[in-house]
Amino acid sequence: MRELIAYLSAEQPRINATLERETAGLNPLVQPVVAHVLEAGGKRLRPLLTLLTARALGYAGDDVYPLACSVELLHSATLLHDDIIDDADLRRGTPAAHTMFGNTKTVLAGDALLALANAIVARYGNPRLTACISEAIVETVTGEIAEIAYLRSTGHPQQTYIDIIKGKTAYLIQASCRLGALIAGADKTQEEAAALFGMHLGIAFQIVDDALDFAPSAKDIGKPVAGDLREGKLTPPLLMYLENLTGDAHKSFVQKFETGMFTEAEVLAVAAAIREQGLDARTRTLAEDYLATARTALNALPDCAERTVLAQTMEYVRSRSH
Amino acid sequence: MRELIAYLSAEQPRINATLERETAGLNPLVQPVVAHVLEAGGKRLRPLLTLLTARALGYAGDDVYPLACSVELLHSATLLHDDIIDDADLRRGTPAAHTMFGNTKTVLAGDALLALANAIVARYGNPRLTACISEAIVETVTGEIAEIAYLRSTGHPQQTYIDIIKGKTAYLIQASCRLGALIAGADKTQEEAAALFGMHLGIAFQIVDDALDFAPSAKDIGKPVAGDLREGKLTPPLLMYLENLTGDAHKSFVQKFETGMFTEAEVLAVAAAIREQGLDARTRTLAEDYLATARTALNALPDCAERTVLAQTMEYVRSRSH
């Protein structure tokens, strides 16, 4: 992943500077919430994907940076509203915004970031960019709602899980890639290839995330393990664990999962059993099919340095440990 | 207001049918929240303004209905998020969504309506429509944030109040009119006249709303009087009341307003004093300057039946009693 790491080091400062400039005009009331969610904020994978796709398809303009950042701002908006919804007390190992700033400022900061992301894309005056971001917003919210609708349910098939993570995670990663293709003026074949890559990378990303929930690395000390079990989300490790249970053990798990009645000791015991049975590792293998499709899609893009880096984002998704 | 009433009766069914059709695809989880906020929902003033402006400028197409409804959906989204923010237990005399459905579904339903409104406008593929709605979203959120930032403040001038209500109310009413002008292909002069009309009608609308908060009609039984005093919003009736106080009474009011320590009896006493001193009526007169500007702006539109109805919306705003 040498090229990816080099590209990240080179581009992160400019991405962060753009995020800072774009959010500088927001009201001081929500600035601390916005700074908090952006500082907590990971690797800037989404803006990087927009940049890489645009560059791979021959676009050299500097005005791609705000476009790339619009997706990160939208992602941050969903993190803030998720915080309220999940009532999660820790997010990426740092306290959730709503515990630090309260519901009001957290809702408003999320609304402000969503509005800003949308306004940035509208600035380009390009209906195809607008259609892309507005579809991504709809799909992301739809995915979040579907996830809540299936909380504490054990009766739905794995395909429902895939539909949920497509919505809540993959559509936005797809949009990151599609926006890059669109600003580059890509033809329909290349645009769809970039979108297909993003969609499948995004699905794989979330599957690995759901494996990591049961096998946190040393860097995640302080983050509660098995958040998905506590919240009642039937992710693949839990579905596999449930499928291994029989008789009373199965019945008891279903009953406790559906009512949210697990004790802390039971949660930790399930997490340990999932690791012992290797179900977190088996979950990671589920991501392989999606990564294979992503790889095939990538072949439709010109063979260039940026395509090499895009291929390495798959490696990053596959191997990440936190 | 005979023409306005006739126009309303003729168009409301079609507006409501469009709202139903556009929201029918939303997840069943949020449908009850959406139905609740749309059913509570007033006169459909905003869609009506889009329709009237488009028709007055010569646009006969039926595809104006979804565009008109986008603003109502956006307005409903802000009502839902406001519910959480204000912790208001009654909204238009019916229970607030969050008390019936909880914060999670209320936040998500608001997000879904915002996303839908945005997606509807994006469908038209017209960058000027997109720019208009995205600006309206930004300004509305900015206004709501500013309102929260000035809660329990008594030190800010009346212009700050005007800036806040421009943001939280008037920009969206301006957008209703501007969208109608844009879809009609109006020239810049007519577009700006329609926008100017909407902005000033919107400011007047909110000023009258803030007067009504202290003088509810019989139809508002069950709605707590003086909500703005309870929440710490220094609206014109309260600013005028405060300006009439001197010495210890002034000091005591400021101290209680800023700390939110009024008893129920004190709230009712202030509301009664405001009515006795005629400050709700004086607040209504503040709206007159804005209505006068709105009327002047309207002259730039063609003299037609729809312009007569638009003029009557000013009469409706001026005289409404709930």
Question: How far does the CA of residue A115 sit from the closest CA of chain B (Å)?
Answer: 5
How high is the pLDDT of residue B224? 76
Residue of B88, B32, B48 whose CA lies nearest to B306: B48
Q: Report the percent of chain B where pLDDT is more than 70.
A: 95
* Alpha-carbon span A81 to A316, nearest angstrom: 27
Query: Tens digits of per-residue pLDDT, B159-191?
Result: 999 999 999 999 999 999 999 999 999 999 999
* Alpha-carbon span B69 to B79, nearest angstrom: 15
Nearest CA in chain B to A83: B104
Residue A33 pLDDT > 90 = yes
A97 close contact with B: CB closer than 8 A: no
Beta strand residue intervals within chain A, DSSP E: 90-91, 94-95
B146 close contact with A: CB closer than 8 A: yes
Residue B218 pLDDT > 60 = no
Which tops the pLDDT comparison, B215 or B32? B32
Q: Which domain holds residue A193?
A: 2-319
Q: In this complex, which of B111, B118, B146 lies closest to A81 when CB atoms are compared? A: B111
A153 close contact with B: CB closer than 8 A: no
Nearest CA in chain A to B86: A104
CB contact under 8 A, B149 and A103: no
How high is the pLDDT of residue B90? 56
Nearest CA in chain B to A107: B81
* Alpha-carbon span A170 to A46, nearest angstrom: 11
Task: Return mean pLDDT, chain B.
Answer: 93
* Alpha-carbon span A209 to A163, nearest angstrom: 16
Across residues B127-137, what is the average pLDDT?
95
CATH number at residue A234: 1.10.600.10
Query: Tens digits of per-residue pLDDT, A229-256?
Result: 999 999 999 999 999 999 999 999 999 9
Structure tokens at B254: 């400021």
Residue B40: which pLDDT band, with cuts at 50, 70 and 90? confident
CB contact under 8 A, A108 and B142: no
CB contact under 8 A, A27 and B142: yes
Give Cα B237 distance to the centre of its chain: 18
Residue A298: which pLDDT band, with cuts at 50, 70 and 90? very high
Question: How far does the CA of residue A275 sit from the closest CA of chain B (Å)?
Answer: 32
- Chosen from A70, A76, A134 to mutate, greatest number of chain B CBs within 10 A: A134
CB contact under 8 A, B134 and A144: no
Query: Tens digits of per-residue pLDDT, A165-195?
Result: 999 999 999 999 999 999 999 999 999 999 9
How high is the pLDDT of residue A257? 96
* Alpha-carbon span A235 to A156, nearest angstrom: 11
Query: Tens digits of per-residue pLDDT, A197-214?
Result: 999 999 999 999 999 999
Q: Are B211 and B318 in contact (CB under 8 A)?
A: no
Residue A219: which pLDDT band, with cuts at 50, 70 and 90? low
How high is the pLDDT of residue B41? 64
* Alpha-carbon span B212 to B210, nearest angstrom: 5
Residue B322 pLDDT > 80 = no
Residue A112 pLDDT > 80 = yes
Return the number of CB contacts < 8 Å for A and B. 124
Question: How far does the CA of residue B164 sit from the closest CA of chain A (Å)?
Answer: 12
- In chain A, which residues have their Cβ closer than 8 Å to the Cβ of B146? 27, 29
Residue of A43, A12, A47 whose CA lies nearest to A198: A47
How high is the pLDDT of residue B89? 58
CB contact under 8 A, B119 and A112: no
Query: Tens digits of per-residue pLDDT, B298-309?
Result: 999 999 999 999
Question: How far does the CA of residue B32 sit from the closest CA of chain A (Å)?
Answer: 13
How high is the pLDDT of residue B63? 97
Helix locations, chain B, DSSP H: 2-23, 31-39, 45-56, 64-86, 97-123, 127-149, 158-165, 171-183, 188-212, 227-231, 236-244, 247-259, 264-276, 279-298, 305-319
A142 close contact with B: CB closer than 8 A: yes
CB contact under 8 A, B138 and A119: yes
- In chain A, which residues have their Cβ closer than 8 Å to the Cβ of B116? 138
* Alpha-carbon span B6 to B309, nearest angstrom: 9
Residue B117 pLDDT > 90 = yes
- Chosen from A118, A128, A168 to mutate, greatest number of chain B CBs within 10 A: A118
How high is the pLDDT of residue A97? 80
Query: Tens digits of per-residue pLDDT, B260-304?
Result: 999 999 999 999 999 999 999 999 999 999 999 999 999 999 999
Question: How far does the CA of residue B22 sit from the closest CA of chain A (Å)?
Answer: 13
How high is the pLDDT of residue A225? 87
Structure tokens at A178: 């599609």
CB contact under 8 A, B122 and A104: no
Q: In this complex, which of A108, A130, A149 lies closest to B148 when CB atoms are compared? A: A108
- Exposure string of A176-214, with b = 16+ CB inside 10 Å and e = fewer, is bbbbbbbbbebeeebbebbbbbbbbbbbbbbbbbbbbbb
How high is the pLDDT of residue A99? 81
Question: How far does the CA of residue B53 sit from the closest CA of chain A (Å)?
Answer: 23
Residue A3 pLDDT > 90 = yes
Residue A55 pLDDT > 70 = yes
Question: How far does the CA of residue A274 sit from the closest CA of chain B (Å)?
Answer: 30
Residue B87: which pLDDT band, with cuts at 50, 70 and 90? low
Q: Which H or E run includes A138?
A: helix A127-149
Nearest CA in chain A to B146: A27
Residue B222: which pLDDT band, with cuts at 50, 70 and 90? low
DSSP, collapsed to helix, strand or coil, labels residue B91 as: strand
How high is the pLDDT of residue A245? 97
Q: Are B290 and B318 in contact (CB under 8 A)?
A: no
How high is the pLDDT of residue B115? 94
How high is the pLDDT of residue A82? 85
Query: Tens digits of per-residue pLDDT, A113-133?
Result: 999 999 999 999 999 999 999
Residue of A295, A296, A301 whose CA lies nearest to A317: A295
Residue A103: which pLDDT band, with cuts at 50, 70 and 90? confident
- Residue A261's alpha-carbon distances to A207, A229, A271, B96, in angstroms, are 25, 11, 16, 30
Q: Are B171 and B198 in contact (CB under 8 A)?
A: no
Write the DSSP symbol of residue A27. Answer: -
CB atoms within 10 A of CB A265: 8
Q: Are B322 and B220 in contact (CB under 8 A)?
A: yes
Q: In this complex, which of B28, B130, B144 lies closest to A122 when CB atoms are compared? A: B130
Residue B219 pLDDT > 80 = no
Question: How far does the CA of residue B116 sit from the closest CA of chain A (Å)?
Answer: 6
Q: Are B313 and B204 in contact (CB under 8 A)?
A: no
> Cα torsion at B148, B153, B156, B158 (round to 10°)?
70
How high is the pLDDT of residue B104? 86
Q: Report the percent of chain A where pLDDT is more than 90.
A: 84
CB contact under 8 A, A112 and B85: no
A160 close contact with B: CB closer than 8 A: no
Q: What is the CA radius of gyration of chain A?
A: 20
CB contact under 8 A, A84 and B104: yes
Domain count, chain B: 1
